[in-house]
Chains A and B, each alone.
Chain A
Amino acid sequence: MSGEIEIQNLKSRDPFAEADEDSGQTTQTQEYIHIRIQQRNGRKTLTTVQGIPSKFDHKKILKVIKKEFACNGTIISDTESKGMGEVIQLQGDHRLKIKDFLVDNDSGLGLDEKTIKIHGF
């Protein structure tokens, strides 16, 4: 089954994420990194990144990202985000860029692409 899906969905967004769930690994959902977007007033948006592994220094990541994407951002602490872990919140729509950053091996975190889920429109 997974073979067929891989072939057919190679170009689609994240064929592997679902495939993983299929094989009964639903317990791992916590390890997804969710990239979301939220609308603010007007054309403004917020990008939130939830679930970056704690082995990374979020502060440093934020610092790099802020410089690279030329945007401001904060880290929402665990208590503030109501138990969702530390969340990086950026101003503006940086979903794709941040995904590239997370995946990039050289200048990024080198994470696995299939652990990243992009939400939103």
Chain B
Amino acid sequence: MSTEQPAIQRRASRKSVAFTDEKLVVDTDGNVTMIATQDDDTRDTAMSHTPRTPPLSAALGAFTDAPQAPADGAADGAPAIADDGLDLTLLKKKKKKAKKEDAEGADAVPAADGEEAIDLTMKKKKKKKAPKEEDEFAKKLEALNLEGGEAAAPAVDENVQDGDMDKGTGIWAHDETKTVNYNPLLSRFFALLSQKNPDHASTGTRSYKIPPPQCLREGNKKTIFANLPEICKRMKRSDEHVTAYLFAELGTSGSTDGARRLVIKGRFQQKQIENVLRTYIMEYVTCKTCRSPNTELSKGENRLYFITCNSCGSRRSVQAIKTGFSAQVGKRRKMRV
């Protein structure tokens, strides 16, 4: 458990492109995380009474309720915000919670180094997920007990702005007349915002997801990139453009077969194709201004390609795909030269 939570935690160099189909997210730097869909469900049902505030307010560095939040919330919350931006909503929420609970697991962070190594196998991650869920749940329960116990005590105190807003205790009690301080109010606002309006709170922090490339080996020397049309459709780019880029970057050539699959000469692993696609997205899909992937590539006036962003309206030119120098490889060298 403690070996993989930090893996989620350590996402300082997170970038915006992820390959996913269901629950697997591959970060650009190779981190693999799961989007916990069921995980969130459990939280909504069984854990609905868990204080929702701490994660968010921990990031704000202002909450007196959660005793363990300031300790690492202040330390971790900041990087979480400063981190590279585009992220998943679900993930984000979960991440912060995980962070908070991981106060004592913080020393296990170095263990994540091994985790950071790129592994894209789904099975591996899926296996890991189950114990994590339970563990998190248990931890949360503990935290709940802890907080519940403490919230009751200071609520009696005059000056302490305390209480659980979800349960309506302490300062959040309905008939409470005490003025509520700014910080708790602020954190309450954000908590409610993220609760009622999960999409709104996370605009711009979602990672861009495309289905992972499917790579098959044809014979010994060719790779089939099976779902190129699908990916292109997702990115709203023409097959030819992506193909040209792939060939230029990989320094090979290839063709398309009957089922519109791309046949690339040379042996390539899914990981490698992913990297290239990632750079493609960075260069030709994401808007540099607002980082939105919702862009269109069009040929401008003078043979230049332009990217027009659909969300912020910015327009910029992109470099044409150039193959550059490629060395002659293979037996035919003498024949051709």
A37 at the interface (CB under 8 A from B): yes
Instruction: Name, among A13, A18, A36, the residue most crowded by chain B CB atoms within 10 Å (CB to CB).
Output: A36
For residue A121, give the distance in angstroms from its CB to the closest CB of chain B.
Answer: 3
Q: CB distance B276 to A121 under 8 Å?
A: yes
A98 at the interface (CB under 8 A from B): no
A36-68 vs B, Cβ < 8 Å mask (1 yes, 0 no): 111111000010101000000000000000000
For residue B34, give the distance in angstroms from its CB to the closest CB of chain A.
Answer: 23
Q: CB distance B327 to A89 under 8 Å?
A: yes
Q: CB distance B85 to A119 under 8 Å?
A: no
A107 at the interface (CB under 8 A from B): no
B96 at the interface (CB under 8 A from A): no
For residue A90, give the distance in angstroms from its CB to the closest CB of chain B.
Answer: 10
For residue A9, give the distance in angstroms from its CB to the closest CB of chain B.
Answer: 8
Instruction: Name, among A22, A40, A76, A121, the residue most crowded by chain B CB atoms within 10 Å (CB to CB).
Output: A121
Among B84, B252, B325, which residue has its beta carbon within 8 angstroms of that of A84? B325
Q: CB distance A121 to B324 under 8 Å?
A: no
For residue B75, give the distance in angstroms from its CB to the closest CB of chain A.
Answer: 19
Q: CB distance A121 to B327 under 8 Å?
A: no
For residue B220, give the distance in angstroms from its CB to the closest CB of chain A.
Answer: 10
The residues in B between 144 and 187 inclusive whose CB is less than 8 angstroms from any CB of A are none
The residues in A between 86 and 116 inclusive whose CB is less than 8 angstroms from any CB of B are 87, 89
Chain B residues near A89: list those with CB within 8 A: 327
Q: CB distance A48 to B325 under 8 Å?
A: yes
Interface residues of A (CB under 8 A from B): 1, 4-5, 8-9, 11-13, 18-19, 21-22, 26, 29, 34, 36-41, 46, 48, 50, 76, 80-82, 84, 87, 89, 119-121
The 10 closest A-B pairs by CB, nearest first: A121-B272, A38-B251, A11-B13, A39-B266, A84-B325, A50-B325, A87-B325, A81-B325, A121-B275, A119-B249
Interface residues of B (CB under 8 A from A): 12-13, 15, 28, 84-85, 248-252, 266-268, 271-273, 275-276, 279, 282-283, 288-289, 291, 316-319, 324-327, 329-330, 337
Q: Mind listing 6 A-B residue pairs with CB under 8 Å?
A: A21-B318, A36-B325, A36-B326, A119-B248, A121-B272, A121-B273
